[in-house]
Amino acid sequence: MQITGITIIKRIKLQNVENDNTTGFFKLFMEYCIDNHRNQIVNSEQLMKYFKLTGEYPNFNRAIHYDRVIEYNGLYYTDWLASKDKKRYIEKISEILQIETIISTVD
């Protein structure tokens, strides 16, 4: 399974010009959330499962080794996940933030 696009129902389509693959779309989604919902993220235990305030978080263990921890606007997350897990993260984060999303995929 590969993510081929994400549409946020506010009529925002995340366009991934640089990296047209699951990881690229995942990064765009995470950056969208940080840009538009930062206060909600840092004040939510549920969301802090997906975002961290430090890049040295213990659960980032292998991601740190492979340089797959991303810092964006003062928050950290990892893209060291299988495609199905990236999709699950997007779905769960969208649910918590009450963002209606459509995730386009191909198998």
The Cα–Cα gap between 38 and 36 comes to 6
Per-residue pLDDT of 18-40, as tens digits, reads: 666 899 999 999 999 999 999 99
The Cα–Cα gap between 12 and 92 comes to 19
Indicate whether 43 pLDDT > 80. yes
Q: By the 8 A CB rule, do 104 and 9 touch?
A: no
Higher local confidence (pLDDT), 68 or 45: 45
What are the residue boundaries of the structural domains of the chain, listed by start? Answer: 2-106
pLDDT, mean over the chain: 87
Per-residue pLDDT of 60-96, as tens digits, reads: 777 776 778 999 999 999 999 999 999 999 999 999 9
Tell me what pLDDT residue 8 has. 76
